[in-house]
Amino acid sequence: DAGVTQSPTHLIKTRGQQVTLRCSPISGHKSVSWYQQVLGQGPQFIFQYYEKEERGRGNFPDRFSARQFPNYSSELNVNALLLGDSALYLCASRREPGQGSSYEQYFGPGTRLTVT
């Protein structure tokens, strides 16, 4: 079975630009979460989506937004990019939130975003 896939793998943008990152969850998984991992640190929670609805949001500005599609894939959008947005953006999928043995979250390889 294919794991979580993300595109693109690498991206270079200029300050002030906008970026869209994409994620496809594991087949059968309905929940997608996004995390930001700055070099040398642990991932930080940005969003969780389940059944196309936002179910959780971390401490990130409104420049960050996301959505989930009927096929459970997801996009993360970041507007007005800042140098500090440079990071590895990770997508994680999970079967269903809060359902019995479905606590496990599986991460994709990430998208490396560099803002210059």
Partner 1 sequence: GENVEQHPSTLSVQEGDSAVIKCTYSDSASNYFPWYKQELGKGPQLIIDIRSNVGEKKDQRIAVTLNKTAKHFSLHITETQPEDSAVYFCAASGRAGGGNKLTFGTGTQLKVEL
Residue 106 makes contact with partner 1 by CB under 8 A: yes
**Contact status, residue 15 vs residue 8, Cβ threshold 8 Å:** no
Closest CA to 74 of 23, 31, 14, 7: 23
Establish how many alpha carbons lie within 13 A of residue 39's alpha carbon, considering only the half-sphere containing its beta carbon.
6
Least distance from C-beta 78 to partner 1, angstroms?
Answer: 19
Stretch that binds partner 1, among 14-22, 49-57, 64-72, 74-82 (CB under 8 A): 49-57
Binding mask 8-47 for partner 1 (x = CB under 8 A): -----------------------x-x-x----xxxxxx--
